[in-house]
């Protein structure tokens, strides 16, 4: 079954709405310039509430060029399961956090994609890595820009990847059918405004993602 990650969670209401809609993973952004930034203390309280309410979701901290020691401390303090390294981190940063981290890549060409996959692909539990839309230097995602599905499709044949970049309720089924990823990741595509989720769009995203594979399985 396709895995669904709702990223950029900033409030308990949004976290509960995502979990109730059927999300498998929730992402919390620790990159201060982002409109989806959450303070570690607020995240720790939010995650504790989720656990108290029995929410069965994988919690992911999103980091950009943070030191591995700082990432590990936030994972521990907030009770998070995984770290998503979304900047220009070297392979040494990923290895220092293994097996609790995976890398986001933003390749512009298939050659870049394959090289990044060989370098950063996780050999333990999926996802192997996250494929986001290519951006200009100094931008680290969250732009709503659609990624290159053909490029992602080529990687998905060999790696259990998370697909990100411009996904929304209107296009997620097409993305899944074309790319065949292990999972999909969305932030701005289910928001009412930056940092706040729209419950209706959350539910629609999960529904369309789940139905994409069901419809494909029953196709003649």
| Residues marked as catalytic | 7, 132
The DSSP code sequence of 22-66 is: T-SEEEEE--TTSTTB--HHHHHHHHHHHHHTT---EEEEEESS-
Asked if residue 210 has a cis previous peptide bond (ω within 30° of 0), the answer is no
Residues with Cβ < 8 Å from 153, sequence gap 6 or more? 178, 179, 180
Q: Measured at the alpha carbon of residue 110, what is the angle toward residues 66 and 129, in degrees to the nearest 5?
A: 35
Q: What are phi and psi of 49, to 5 degrees?
A: -65, -40
Cβ atoms within 10 Å of 2's Cβ, excluding its own: 18
Q: Which residues pair with 102 in a beta bridge?
A: 84
Q: How far apart are CA 102 and CA 207, in angstroms?
A: 26
List of E strands, 56-171: 58-63, 82-85, 101-105, 129-131, 162-163
């Amino acid at each position: 079954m396709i895995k669904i990650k709702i990223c950029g969670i900033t409030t308990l209401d949004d976290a509960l709405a995502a979990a109730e809609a059927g999300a498998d993973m929730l992402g919390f952004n620790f990159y201060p310039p982002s409109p989806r930034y959450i303070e570690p203390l607020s995240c720790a309280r939010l995650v504790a509430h989720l656990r108290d309410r029995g929410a069965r979701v994988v919690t992911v901290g999103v980091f950009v060029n943070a030191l591995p020691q700082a990432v590990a401390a936030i994972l521990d303090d907030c009770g998070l399961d995984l770290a998503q390294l979304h900047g220009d981190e070297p392979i040494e940063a990923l290895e220092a956090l293994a097996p609790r981290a995976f890398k986001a890549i933003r390749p512009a060409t298939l050659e870049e994609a394959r090289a990044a996959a060989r370098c950063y692909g996780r050999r333990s539990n999926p996802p192997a890595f996250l494929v986001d839309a290519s951006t200009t230097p100094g931008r680290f995602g969250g732009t709503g820009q659609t990624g290159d599905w053909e490029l992602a499709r080529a990687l998905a044949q060999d790696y259990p990847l998370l697909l990100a970049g411009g996904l929304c309720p209107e296009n997620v089924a097409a993305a899944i059918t074309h790319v065949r990823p292990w999972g999909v990741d969305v932030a701005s595509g289910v928001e009412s405004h930056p940092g706040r989720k729209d419950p209706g769009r959350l539910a629609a995203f999960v529904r369309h993602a789940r139905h994409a594979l069901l419809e494909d399985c029953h196709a003649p």
